[in-house]
Amino acid sequence: MLIGLLGFQGAIEEHELILSSLGADSIRVKKASELIALDGLIFPGGESTTMLKMLEFSNLLNPLQSVLSQGLPVMATCAGLILLAKKTTSPVQKSLGQLDITVKRNGYGPQYFSFCEEVSIESFEKTFRAVFIRAPIILSTGPSVHVMARDHHGHPVFVRSGRQFGMTFHPELTQDDRIHRLFLNQIKKNSRRELCQDIQNGIT
């Protein structure tokens, strides 16, 4: 299994270490040709504005939209979720528009208000210690989006829509690999090797 990580900026190495411990290979994606052989993709946390600028500079925006719309599984965390969202606020920012949610950037406030919280995630027997760093808040979800977990305010913090997983927190900053395992298991159940030719046609 080969998982791509958007490789310009953010918490990349932490995801790589977890994927490696679970037996998955990974590659840092910086150009369109690297999307073709992927079984899944991770948008890491970091700085969404910087990531967006690098995507535009590298001509990756349209290829990403193409492979995601064709069903490439994706897991987006914190800033990565902002990139994946259909709509962003505070301020409005361009995005890939793939996940039907509205996200408020820095929703909990600046760095000083970063925090950890035990959250209950659907299908998990034990709570997950979620790390929120300048985290966005999901203001609304579309009908295709299922809420997997909420914070103590009732805000969705983990959502899923088909093969798209989105979190406002950083699962890679803990020793708990359950979310990554959930993502990889979903890919195994819905292998998309048969879609590789379609994806190649979409980005070339």
Residue 117, strand partner residues: 130
Catalytic residue among 78, 116, 118, 146: 78
SS3 content of the chain, % helix, strand, coil (to 5): 35, 30, 40
Q: Cα–Cα distance between 149 and 126 in angstroms, integer?
A: 12
Query: Which residue in 170, 180, 194, 196 is the catalytic one?
Result: 170
Active site residue 117: no
172 given a catalytic annotation: yes
**Nearest CA to 90 among 105, 75, 72?**
105
Catalytic site includes residue 196: no
- 64, 100 in Cβ contact below 8 A? no
| 117-138: burial string, b at 16+ Cβ within 10 Å, e else | eebebeebeeebebbbbbbbbb
Q: Which tokens go with 70?
A: 């064709």
Query: Looking at 15, 16, 155, 172, which residue is catalytic?
Result: 172
End-to-end CA distance of the chain: 23
Where helices occur in the chain by DSSP H, the ranges are 12-21, 48-57, 61-69, 79-84, 178-189, 196-203
The catalytic residues are 78, 170, 172
